[in-house]
């Protein structure tokens, strides 16, 4: 029998995962958001309940997907006092999909365990469209029996499981996700510098991107962000603010490990600068606004 599903955090990712699971025949019974109107709209669409409290979510679903913003939000929904997903949690499985720190994943796992509940990290390395189509790249951390108990459900979200990777114990998936995004952000910031300098030199950027793609400069972000950088098409799929957050998580891990990572540090500074000058809600490709001549907050200087 298919588990009843609740979704906490009905932003675009959470809403699309709910839609996908409903399409796959799962009873999506309840949704919740800190913005009640967002939850209500999705509830109408999915013909389910918009819970007023987190405890109510637990009363209506046995598997709860959480897709919240950051560590603080995770702390909030799994609060040890007041309304919380820890109330009425026994035997529930919480699948936590937000990109948050490994430490908070471990902390929440401990709190849930004390209530007789189970948690998994399901870190996503893809975006909104993939959530809707069920083709998310999912990295799973947590006890493997808990993973097995929801493997089929997760497979429906990850191209029949082809994009599903079990990483290891709680915290490791978030570590890998932080590293993926750290490296992706570095490559993005570097690409923006290469194309920005190409623009300054008056080169044909379409030819330059072609050459990058055929040489040692090729990368995933060249494919996903290169043309957008050239054309200043920065509609948000993955915001600069998110990039700053994720690079920050990775650099905190590096600090704890005693590693000095100058590229990751420079990248964090660039994305932080985007936030500071009001460009934080652009897509990460918007970092090109800092590196192309004549663009950016201080027009003409490129800085």
State the residues that interact with its own copies by CB under 8 A. 125-126, 137, 139, 163, 165, 167-168, 172, 175-176, 179-184, 186-187, 189-191, 193-194, 196-198, 200-201, 203-204, 207-208, 210-212, 214-221, 224, 250, 253-254, 257-267, 269-270, 291, 293, 301-303
For residue 58, the SS3 value is helix
CB of 110 to its own copies, least distance (A): 19
CB of 218 to its own copies, least distance (A): 4
CB of 193 to its own copies, least distance (A): 4
CB nearer to its own copies: give 6 or 286: 286
Q: Residue 243: which H helix or E strand, with range?
A: helix 240-257
CB nearer to its own copies: give 58 or 187: 187
CB of 164 to its own copies, least distance (A): 11
CB nearer to its own copies: give 57 or 184: 184
Taking Cα atoms as reference points, which of 126, 148, 153 lies closest to residue 139? 126
Q: Residue 193: which H helix or E strand, with range?
A: helix 172-200
CB nearer to its own copies: give 46 or 221: 221
Cα–Cα distance, 31 to 190 (Å, whole number): 40
**For residue 144, what are the CA distances in angstroms to 39, 44, 214, 267?**
31, 35, 41, 35
CB of 108 to its own copies, least distance (A): 19
28: β partners:
5
CB nearer to its own copies: give 38 or 250: 250
Residue 192, burial from CB neighbour count under 10 angstroms (0-12, 13-18, 19+): buried
CB nearer to its own copies: give 152 or 179: 179
CB of 84 to its own copies, least distance (A): 30
For residue 89, the SS3 value is coil
CB nearer to its own copies: give 57 or 243: 243
CB of 261 to its own copies, least distance (A): 4
Cα–Cα distance, 28 to 31 (Å, whole number): 8
Contact residues for 2 (Cβ-Cβ < 8 A; gap 6+)? 25, 26, 27, 153
Q: Residue 76: which H helix or E strand, with range?
A: helix 71-77
């Amino acid at each position: 029998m298919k588990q009843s599903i609740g979704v906490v955090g009905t932003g675009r990712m959470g809403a699309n995962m709910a839609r996908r699971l409903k399409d796959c025949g799962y009873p999506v019974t309840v949704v919740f958001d800190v913005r009640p109107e967002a939850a209500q709209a999705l509830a109408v669409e999915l013909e389910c309940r918009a819970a007023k409290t987190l405890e109510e979510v637990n009363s209506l679903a046995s598997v709860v997907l959480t897709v919240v913003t950051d560590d603080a939000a995770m702390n909030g929904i799994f609060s040890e006092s007041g309304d919380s997903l820890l109330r009425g949690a026994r035997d529930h499985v919480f699948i936590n999909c937000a990109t948050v720190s490994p430490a908070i994943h471990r902390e929440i796992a401990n709190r849930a365990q004390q209530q007789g509940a189970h948690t998994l990290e399901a870190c996503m390395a893809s975006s909104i469209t993939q959530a809707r189509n069920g083709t998310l790249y999912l990295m799973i951390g947590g006890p493997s029996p808990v993973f097995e108990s929801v493997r089929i459900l997760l497979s429906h979200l990850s191209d029949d499981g082809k994009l599903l990777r079990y990483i290891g114990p709680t915290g490791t998936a978030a570590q890998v996700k932080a590293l993926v995004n750290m490296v992706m952000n570095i490559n993005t910031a570097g690409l923006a510098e290469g194309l920005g300098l190409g623009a300054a030199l008056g080169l044909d950027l379409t030819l330059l991107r072609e050459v990058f793609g055929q040489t040692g400069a090729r990368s995933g972000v060249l494919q996903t962000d290169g043309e957008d950088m050239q054309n200043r098409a920065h509609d948000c799929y993955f915001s600069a603010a998110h990039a700053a957050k994720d690079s920050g998580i990775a650099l905190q891990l590096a600090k704890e490990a005693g590693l000095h990572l100058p590229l990751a540090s420079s990248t964090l500074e660039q994305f932080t600068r985007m936030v500071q000058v009001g460009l934080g809600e652009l897509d990460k490709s918007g970092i090109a606004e800092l590196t192309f001549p004549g663009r950016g907050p201080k027009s003409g200087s490129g800085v």
